[in-house]
Every structure is written in structure tokens, then in C-alpha cells.
Structure 1
Amino acid sequence: MQEEIVRIVFGEAETANVWFYVEIVFRTLVMYLYTIFLARMVGHDAIGQIGPFEFVLVIAVGSAAGDPMFYPDVGLLQGILVITVVVLLHRATGALLARSSKVESLVEGDPVLVIKDGHIIEDALGSGALSLRELLALLRVEGVRDTGEVEAAYFENNGKLSVFRYPAEKAKRSRSTEPLRTQR
């Protein structure tokens, strides 16, 4: 019975040494940083309304919590250590983001100017973060019927669109935001 409790808490006997736990911390750090990098590469459309920073936290904690539940060779202590390191890394990264706009820009990304003076900036759409179809849909959600109504629009790092409209008297016709199938 006591051997089973030790196995449940520490995992398999050959991994129950101090250096293995140091290795877990190192592996967790590497995977955390790599996952942030990949989340930034994938872009906002693939991870939804949360930023890459939060996405990594959800993935890492979920994975670390699940392994000790399903795999008998992964001890509870190992899962607890990984979750603790991930949360500490998340807190440290958050503190670093609050102190450095360069790090914040690197981790979270910057808003992208997608419309200027009523004209869509095609190069901004080519970055993979936002397609023309998605941009037009986001404009429709904001009640914009034509891009000529928009002085500037930014695709934010949280996946939303910030729209600055011209006053009604300055609006002009440029490009309809209506889906092609509904235009007549």
C-alpha cells in the first residue's frame, strides 16, 4: 500500500530523484517559450478572442493537469511541479509585459492598421492575421456598410477590430462591406 502511494505521488521509481525535477522545470520553461512563439506565429484567428499569452497558459495547465490523471508513470508531484512552474512563468511574463512595451509587443503583438482613409491596406491582410473576408465581416458587425465611412481601422491583438469613422459629411463611397452574394 505504501509503495502505491509513493508511486502515485512521485511516479515511477527511476524518475523519483532531484535531478529529474530540475529537468521538469527546464523542460517546462522551454515548452512554455516555444508555445508562446508558435501561438504568435499562428495568429489571432486560430486561437480566438484570447491572446497568445493566455492561450499558452490554458494549453500548458490543461496538459500538465491531465497527465497525472491518466498516466500511472506520471506522479502527482510532477504534475503539480509543472503547473506551478507554468503559473510562475505566466506571472513573471505578465510582470515583464507590464514593465516593457518591447516585450509586450513581442509576446502579444501590435495592432495592425488595416484601413486608412477608407482604403483597405492589402499588405496588412497578407500577414496571415486577417483575411479580406474576415475584415469585411468585422466591419459589418460594427455597422459599417462601406469602407469609405472609415478613417482608420486597427486589427487589435485580441482579435477585435477598432474602427474610427469619419463624420457623416466626410464619408465617401469606396468598397461595400456586403457579401458578394447579396450585392445587386
Structure 2
Amino acid sequence: MDMLSRRIGGMATYITLMGKCFVVYFVIIFALRLMGKREVGELSVFDIVIYLVMSELLALSITETDKSILRSMVPIFTLSLLQIVLSWCLLKSKKTREIFEGKPVIIIHNGHINQAVMKKERYNIDDLMMQIRNRDICSPDEVAFAVLETNGQLSILKKEQCKVRHPEPLISDGIINQSVLDDLHQDVAWLLAALHKEGVERSEDVFLCMLQKNGLFVIKKETSTRNAFFSHHA
């Protein structure tokens, strides 16, 4: 009788584990969908921390068979809400993005390697050359820009393919990037005058502005719906 009870108890434990795994699977999918679509390579440090904490909470909820899985649901959805709120703040504030995600930095410009930036970012020359070779490039002299992105990836633009004079936008979502102006040895007055020639009165009306070799590339802010966007670009 005792053996039968133990077997029944063991089966109940396995059934509980299977049920928890089933619930956790859909909780993970729902939480990730709730937090939005992002590729693994685009995850920020904050995203990675959130996912690590969530995975630990879910693992504990599965292994602790004597406790209800609902105890882990509250902190998981709290973390999801925190990530959504912070993502909204990052979307609205460039300063907040720089605090949490950092800024992209230029490591190579027209074949010249910025050794001071490499030292600051703790990026060694062997890693740099490996990334260059992975892009089928033989020498840094062939590179127009190599930018170390906020997610740690190195973006490389070849000289013969690059149409821009700076890899970062002059204006993004209405906010002027002063560091880009400094790199170009220009000021806000020059930028506003250039925008005026393009028929734009205010920098706040600009969604994206890049400096290309043949002048400014400007995209104005729109309030169009998704369907209007596709009909406009059909």
C-alpha cells in the first residue's frame, strides 16, 4: 500500500512538472510578445538582464513543485511591465537611450583607426581585424566607417559603397545630434540653413536627416497610418 502511494505521489509530481512546463512555455511566449519584437543581436544590456531574471524565476517555479506557479507570475509580469515602460522612455528620450544603451562610436574613419576610442572601449586590434576579414575586406584602408554599435556589433561601410559623410544621423526624431555636428566641424546654424534649402523650417519636423556626399537626405515626420504608408510607397 505504501509503495502504491509512493508511486501515485511520484506520478502526481511528474504530472505537476509537465503542467508547469506547459504553462511556463506559453507565459514566456506571451511575455516576449508583450515586450515587443527585437532580434537577439539588438538586445540591450537592460533587455538581457530582464530575460535572465525572468528565466531564473521560471526555472524556480518549475523545480519547486510544492509551490504554486502563480507566485512566479507576478514578478514576471512586473518585469514585463517595467521593460515596456522603459522601452517607451527610450523611444521618447535620446538622453535616456544614451544612459541605458550607450552611444555608437566610430573606430575607423576613411581608413584611419581611432586608437583612443579602441582603448576606451577595450576593443583590441585582433578583434578589429577579424571583423574586417569577416566582411571580405583586406585592409582598414578600404573602410569608410567602422562603427561599434551599442549592442557590441561592429558595422562596417566600405569606401566604394558609402554615400554618407557621417554614419550617424544629423537629426533623429526631431533631435539634433550635436556630436555629429562637432565631428563635421559645423554648427546648428549651418544645419538649419541646409534644412531651409530642403524646404524644412524646423528641425523638430524631421524624422531622419543624414549628410550624404551630395547633400542632405531628409525624411519628414508623418502621421500616416500603415495603409497610407504602403499606398504612398507603392
- TM-score (structure 1 length as normaliser): 0.58
Secondary structure of the corresponding residue to residue 145 of structure 1: coil
* CA distance in 2: counterparts of 1:71 and 1:140, whole angstroms: 49
Q: Deviations over 1:52-76 (max 9, x none)?
A: 1321222011011112222357542
> 1:55 pairs with 42, 48, 54, which one?
48
Q: How far apart, in 1, do the equivalents of 2:108 and 2:124 lie?
A: 13
Which deviates further from its counterpart, 114-123 or 158-167? 158-167
Amino acid at match of 1:111: P
Specify which of 121, 127, 130 is matched with residue 134 of structure 1: 127
Secondary structure class of the residue paired with 1:154: strand
1:111 alignment partner in structure 2:
104
Q: In the alignment, which residue of structure 1 is the partner of 2:138? A: 145
| Structure 1, 87-96 or 122-131: larger mean CA deviation | 122-131
Max Rg structure: 2
- Structure in which a larger fraction of residues adopt strand: 2
Residue number in structure 1 paired with 2:95: 102
Unpaired runs of 5+ residues, structure 2, are 1-15, 17-39, 162-234
Shift of 1:82: 0.8
Contact 1:150 1:165 in 2 (8 A): yes
Q: Which has the higher contact order (CA 8 A, sep 6+)?
A: 1
Per-residue CA deviations over 1:90-115 (Å, capped at 9, x if unaligned) read 11111111101111111122111111
The farther-off stretch of 152-161 and 49-58 is 49-58
The equivalent position to 1:165 in structure 2, one of 158, 161, 172, is: 158
For 1:61 and 1:167, the matched residues in 2 are separated by 45
- Equivalent position SS for 2:120: coil
Distance 1:100 1:126 in 2: 29
TM superposition outliers: structure 1 runs of 4+ over 4 Å: 72-75
RMSD: 2.3
How many angstroms does 1:118 deviate by? 0.9
Partner amino acid, structure 2, of 1:155: L
Secondary structure in 2 aligned to 1:127?
helix
Task: Report which of the two has the higher share of helix.
Answer: 1
